[in-house]
Structure 1
């Protein structure tokens, strides 16, 4: 029997990118401190220091290798998912960040193989049964295509969460059991 395919985003889903980028922004531009709660949409240019462009904010060499795990449960729950389902880790990446993201993944989740690691910005082009992501730009097209989704709640997806009423997962604690329910899988 074919296992359901679960596509899992990396940044701000299994690790914290925005919080770490804010940390470095606030060190480098103390006159323009950012708060996580202020990140209510993707365009943050009005919040940042004029010299803190998108490339500066997310482009610090080594940034993607120093990200913290989403929470204390994510590794064990990802391992459980990997044992039960066909898991792919799908992340938007620029060429210069691919190696950093792969290194992070191998440091924290070495059970994810290279065949399970996909860099792709337009995730709706991939075949999966469930998408776990924080980006509304990924969740909405998947939802509209009739695929199951789980939203990782953050300030930047509040409006879309309210509009689409996505199932939420704010912690990875007991994620496998929750995902079994969402997929309505029995005995896997």
Structure 2
């Protein structure tokens, strides 16, 4: 019997991208500061400085290697998940960020092999049983396809969470047990 496949996003799911990008934005454009709570949409239309474009906000060289872990439990819980399930990392990436993301993953979670690392923006093209993600553009299609999801809550997915009532995971503490209960039917 095959193990269930758990697809896990990287940015703002196992590490904090937006908070770090805001830090750099506010350092570079102190007259046009941003706050995490104001990030109500997935796009970057909220950037206030004319020189702060999507490419500037997310394109700082080395940005993806300096991201902080989501919380103190994420590494331990991801390792538990990898021991029990077929865990794949499915992350949107531009060619210049793929190596940075892989380097970050190997520094923090070296137990994830390269064959389980998928740079892919359109996650609905990947086969999995459960998706852990923060992006509404990934969660909604997965749910509509009948797949199980766990949403990492952030301001940019609040409206969609209210509309779809996704199961939410605010901390990685106890993630393995929670996922066991969600996927229990797949073991039968």
In structure 2, list runs of 5 or more residues that go unmatched: none
Map of 1:184 onto structure 2: 184
Equivalence map 1:86-165=2 (5 Å): 86-165=86-165
- Residue 186 of structure 1 and its aligned partner are, at CA, apart by 8.9
- Residue 45 of structure 1 and its aligned partner are, at CA, apart by 2.5
Equivalence map 1:1-188=2 (5 Å): 1-184=1-184
RMSD: 1.4
| Secondary structure of residue in 2 paired with 1:184 | helix
Alignment coverage as a number of residue pairs: 188
Q: Structure 1 CA distance, aligned partners of 2:152 and 2:145?
A: 19
TM-score by length of 2: 0.97
Q: Structure 2 CA distance, aligned partners of 1:146 and 1:76?
A: 29
TM-score by length of 1: 0.97
- Structure 1 stretches of at least 4 aligned residues deviating more than 3 Å after TM superposition: none
> 1:15-66: per-residue Cα shift (whole Å, max 9, x none)?
0000000000000000011000000002333433110000000000000000
Q: Structure 2 CA distance, aligned partners of 1:186 and 1:94?
A: 34
In structure 1, list runs of 5 or more residues that go unmatched: none
